[in-house]
Amino acid sequence: MSQPVDAAPLSIFKVLRPFVALFRRQWLMMLVGLLLTITTLLTGIGLLSLSGWFLSASAVAGLSVITAQTFNYFTPAGGVRFFSIARTASRYGERLATHEATFKLLTQLRVWAWNKLLPLSAANLQGLRRGDLLNRLVADIDTLDHLYLRLLTPMAASLMMIGILLAFLGWFDNHLALSLCALLLAAWFILPLVFYYLGKAPGQVLMQAQRQYRIELLDVIQGQAELSIFGANKRYLAKLGQAQQSLFNQQTTMANITGLSQALLIVINGSAVVLMLYFAGQGVGDLSPPGPLMALMVFATMASLEMMMPIAGAFQHLSSTVLAARRVTEITEQTPSVVFNPHSHLQAKHGALQIRDIHFGYHSHSPVLQGLDLTIKAGDKVAVLGPTGCGKSSLLGLITRDWAAQQGSITLDGHPISDYSDANLRAAMTVVSQRIYLFSGTLRDNLALALPYLQGEAKKAHDQRFIEVLDKVGLQTLLQGDQPLDCWIGDGGRQLSGGEQRRIGVARALLRDAPLLLLDEPTEGLDKRTEREILKVLLDFAQHKTLLMISHRLTALDQMDAVYLFQQGRLIQQSH
Give the C-alpha separation, 20 to 34, whole Å: 16
Tell whether the model's pLDDT for residue 8 goes beyond 60.
Answer: no
What does each C-alpha distance from 107 to 17, 148, 216 come to in angstroms?
18, 14, 26
DSSP labels, 135-161: HIIIIIHHHTHHIIIIIIHHHHHHHHH
Residue 458's pLDDT is: 64
Give the C-alpha separation, 362 to 377, whole Å: 28
365 band by pLDDT with thresholds 50, 70 and 90: low
Domains of the chain are 9-332 (1.20.1560.10), 353-575 (3.40.50.300)
Structural element, H or E, at residue 541: helix 528-541
pLDDT digits (tens, 9 = 90+) for 36-76: 999 999 998 889 888 888 888 888 787 777 777 777 888 88
Residue 2's pLDDT is: 45
How crowded is the C-beta side of 286, counted as CA atoms within 13 Å? 1
5 band by pLDDT with thresholds 50, 70 and 90: very low
Residue 353's pLDDT is: 93
* 382, β-bridge pairs: 548, 562
Mean pLDDT calculated for residue range 545-563? 86
Closest CA to 149 of 82, 111, 104, 113: 104
Give the C-alpha separation, 528 to 551, whole Å: 14
* 384, β-bridge pairs: 550, 564
Residue 70's pLDDT is: 78
Span of 130-144, 219-233, 332-346 with lowest mean pLDDT: 130-144
The answer to whether 400 and 422 are in contact (CB under 8 A) is: no
Strand order in the sheet with 353-363: 366-376, 353-363, 407-412, 415-416
Give the C-alpha separation, 564 to 566, whole Å: 6
Residue 74's pLDDT is: 85
Among 119-128, 237-246, 493-502, 522-531, the range with the most confident prediction by mean pLDDT is 237-246
Tell whether the model's pLDDT for residue 99 goes beyond 60.
Answer: yes
Distance of CA 359 to the CA centre of its chain: 37
Residue 459's pLDDT is: 66
pLDDT digits (tens, 9 = 90+) for 103-127: 888 888 888 888 888 888 887 887 7
pLDDT digits (tens, 9 = 90+) for 441-491: 888 888 888 887 666 666 677 788 888 888 888 888 888 877 888 888 877
Give the C-alpha separation, 434 to 70, whole Å: 89
Residue 39's pLDDT is: 92
The answer to whether 384 and 395 are in contact (CB under 8 A) is: yes
Percent of the chain's residues with pLDDT above 90: 18
Give the C-alpha separation, 198 to 316, whole Å: 7
At 563 the three-state DSSP class reads strand
Residue 497's pLDDT is: 81
SS3 letters across 66-87:
HHHHHCCCHHHHHHHHHHHHHH
Give the C-alpha separation, 245 to 213, whole Å: 9
CA angle (20 as vertex; 312, 322 as ends), nearest 5: 55
Percent of the chain's residues with pLDDT above 70: 95
139 band by pLDDT with thresholds 50, 70 and 90: confident
Residue 420's pLDDT is: 93
The answer to whether 513 and 348 are in contact (CB under 8 A) is: no
Tell whether the model's pLDDT for residue 4 goes beyond 50.
Answer: no
Mean pLDDT calculated for residue range 280-297? 80
Closest CA to 185 of 160, 153, 152: 160
Residue 454's pLDDT is: 60
Residue 364's pLDDT is: 64
**Which position has the higher pLDDT, 134 or 245?**
245
The answer to whether 40 and 161 are in contact (CB under 8 A) is: no
Give the C-alpha separation, 249 to 252, whole Å: 5
Tell whether the model's pLDDT for residue 92 goes beyond 90.
Answer: yes
Residue 257's pLDDT is: 87
Give the C-alpha separation, 403 to 368, whole Å: 12
81 band by pLDDT with thresholds 50, 70 and 90: very high
Give the C-alpha separation, 324 to 309, whole Å: 24
What does each C-alpha distance from 433 to 23, 275, 361, 384, 406 come to in angstroms?
40, 74, 21, 15, 24
At 412 the three-state DSSP class reads strand
Closest CA to 253 of 300, 326, 317, 331: 317
- Mean of pLDDT over the chain: 84
Task: Record the pTM.
Answer: 0.71
The answer to whether 502 and 441 are in contact (CB under 8 A) is: no
Residue 320's pLDDT is: 78
DSSP labels, 98-138: HHHHHHHHHHHHHHHHHHHHTT--TTTTTT--HHHHHHIII
Strands 415-416 and 366-376: unpaired
At 30 the three-state DSSP class reads helix
Residue 436's pLDDT is: 85
Residue 575's pLDDT is: 65
Distance of CA 513 to the CA centre of its chain: 34
Tell whether the model's pLDDT for residue 16 goes beyond 70.
Answer: yes
pLDDT digits (tens, 9 = 90+) for 181-207: 999 999 888 888 888 888 888 888 888
What helix, strand, coil percent values describe the chain, rounded to 5?
A: 65, 10, 25
**Which position has the higher pLDDT, 306 or 287?**
306
547 band by pLDDT with thresholds 50, 70 and 90: very high
